[in-house]
A and B are shown apart, each in its own frame.
Chain A
């Protein structure tokens, strides 16, 4: 199966140090797949696809007339991370979330970091994610980032670096749990040869973290979804079910004298925790977009009055803004007085003349992203783009530089991936999840996304990317 597997230079390959030389942590897994053989693995992969369909583990793809339900392409060859690599990453993530949370408390409070000139005022206050409506509001426990999905990549030297912070409504964790479930069912022999840390405590941890912010402890929580037509609806249901919370839509909630209540068959019942999967803009038509039909009028009032925990916090978008991202290491130094443990990707802000000129001169080697973009939409991968595409993007950057950032194309790590006729290297990233209540907890695992097309660097599910199970090994196996 792996006889002709050739890692792509100069990328880091997760499984092979060199052709025919598996990395230690992957060796038993490679051997196990090898002994099953390609035909058997492919048969099991088909069963896995069927299992995902039967379970209804689907996301909705937009762009079609009414959206189409699809399963996330699943690759059965796991990505294995050693205990020592993970320990470094875990500490770095925890530190990063602590700094970002402090930043949010500051930006919506005294704004010391702006007064000290460590982060340019216009970058923060001009960010679409900065919401003046919640300036001065301190959420319960001072926690803004209850769930963080920090996208990391592995550089050619093997070190993890942060590509992007997702601090609003990061999605994908349900795939982490479902992928593991399906792996247990179809590849038990591979799992049993490794000491893999379990992931299924995530929903309980999240519930615990959110409840810990409610005085008295006996909290009634709900998951707030935009509804069945949202692309991540499956995940909203999944989490509500696993957390034992009600799944509600905006119209199921009502604000009465600054408290949030849900409409039940027995009248109104107060809600203490809202894990919301609705964007800020649509959350409360009284405060934000008045045309939102999926929000809860008055929710911001209740949030400000402190009667309810809203997770994630309102206004978090200012901290995961792509143009604020370059300043996160500075936040670590400023708020924590620590040295940043995680590297990140060099970023050019096209809003500044110097960076803009550099970007325009080097478009062919850069990746340009819209500051407000997500999901791999509206980005330019310079080296892969045509001359015409690049020149169209250059016009946009000249017209509205502040809307764009650019980064060098990173050689994303590769991982062996099952194709119809063979196994070949494909690019992967990793989204670990950090859950924060009174303290932080990092899910030992995460969503490994795979660019299924040869040579592609875009791993987003909306762009045809798939996923694979991520195995974090326990200490004993290090």
Chain B
């Protein structure tokens, strides 16, 4: 397929994925803070950290805004925040608009109606009247896109590049989420069990986790699940394995030597799988997880430079965020 179109595919789904994760994280935190009787600041800064938007937020020069509404307004609406939900959906639409003939009509409608809804009166009304329902509606908008992706286009290159964008974003988000949760646990600012339950929920992982029978809930167990599980869609190992699958399919017929992005991904997956969970989760967790974030970033870079050699304009907003790892 045309390289430029492939690039738009990658960023389109990556932004939708980010939008969905943002909505879920905010929704989960909304409920979690009712269990965590700590200062408002302690309740909401972790959201900024998990989304990699701490620096953008402090740049606004209003540290006093680390309040429930201050953070949510920033993360959902602030035009100065490149990672804001509004901006993610806008970028998704811009990328979708550039490849309307590549994606299906139903996918385009999903993105377009999400954008029209988010910029219309109804979304603002809901945001003020029923915050929980607002996040639900935002998630549903993203899921409508994902559903139509699976049911309305052929499983060939455009599909593969879209999935890659989502998987890379997911691996990145899960890693950040975990890192932030450990930090929260260390500062003792949140009660342990509710914190790990909330972390699982933020990755929509609670049911899958319990089906594995990993009780009692602990940071060590949740970390192991979210990093190493191969079957759970938001676990880092799963994301890497699927990425490697799609990269192999895209480069069909070429060995890994002819596919630098595929080789980078496979190497990272192999390294992760050869690592004993204790090495990551019992030692210097933050150094390990930051190392993992950098490695995931390298996978994204390898995909970009192998398949979309020109400077990706669409990526700028996302790149502005990634320096915060």
Contact = CB atoms under 8 A, between A and B. Distances in A.
A53 interface: yes
A248 B116 contact: no
Contact of B109 (A54, A241, A263): A54
B10 to A, nearest CB: 11
A436 B282 CA distance: 72
Interface residues of A, number: 25
B182 interface: no
Given A53-B116, A265-B6, A247 B109 contact: no
Interface in A248-278: 248-249, 251-252, 262-265
A263 B108 CA distance: 24
A247 B101 contact: yes
Given A249-B4, A263-B3, A264-B2, A54 B112 contact: yes
Nearest to B309: A263
Contact of B4 (A53, A233, A240, A252): A252
A234 B307 CA distance: 26
Interface stretch (B69-77, B82-90, B92-100, B316-324): B92-100
Nearest to B308: A265
A262 B5 CA distance: 12
A228 interface: yes
Contacts of A237: 100-101
A338 to B, nearest CB: 40
A22 interface: no
A177 to B, nearest CB: 12
B157 A241 contact: no
A56 interface: yes
Contact of A247 (B99, B105, B113): B99
A247 B5 CA distance: 9
A275 to B, nearest CB: 12
A248 B102 CA distance: 11
Contacts of A240: 101
B250 interface: yes
A421 to B, nearest CB: 25
Contacts of A264: 1-3
A54 B116 contact: yes
Interface string A36-66: 0000000000000000011110000000000
Contact of A246 (B1, B113, B116): B1
Interface string B148-188: 00000000010001000000000000000000000000000
Nearest to A237: B100
Contact of B307 (A55, A248, A251, A265): A265
Contacts of B113: 54
Nearest to A243: B101
User: Most chain-A CB neighbours within 10 Å: which of B5, B101, B108?
Assistant: B101
Interface string A217-254: 00000010001100001101110110001111101100
A341 to B, nearest CB: 37
Interface string A109-128: 00000000000000000000
Given A54-B109, A56-B108, A263 B101 contact: no
A265 B157 contact: yes
Nearest to B7: A265
A252 B101 contact: no
Contacts, number: 63
Nearest to B115: A56
Contacts of B94: 228
A95 B146 CA distance: 50
A241 B1 contact: no
Contacts of A234: 100
A263 B307 CA distance: 10
A122 B155 CA distance: 57
Contacts of B99: 247
Contacts of B6: 265
Nearest to A249: B4
Nearest to B110: A54
A14 to B, nearest CB: 32
Given A265-B157, A265-B307, A248 B2 contact: yes
B306 to A, nearest CB: 9
A245 B100 CA distance: 12
Contacts of A252: 2-5
Nearest to B97: A228
Interface string B99-134: 111100100110011001000000000000000000
A248 to B, nearest CB: 6
Given A246-B5, A249-B4, A265 B250 contact: yes
B157 to A, nearest CB: 6
Given A54-B109, A54-B112, A54-B116, A247 B3 contact: no
Contacts of A241: 100-101, 105
Contact of A265 (B3, B105, B108): B3
Nearest to B94: A228
Closest A-B pairs by Cβ, 10 of them: A237-B100, A240-B101, A241-B101, A247-B101, A237-B101, A56-B112, A265-B307, A252-B2, A265-B6, A54-B113
11 contacts: A54-B109, A55-B109, A228-B97, A237-B100, A238-B101, A240-B101, A247-B100, A247-B101, A248-B2, A251-B4, A263-B3
Given A223-B101, A263-B4, A265-B1, 8 more contacts: A55-B109, A55-B112, A56-B109, A228-B98, A238-B100, A241-B105, A246-B2, A252-B5
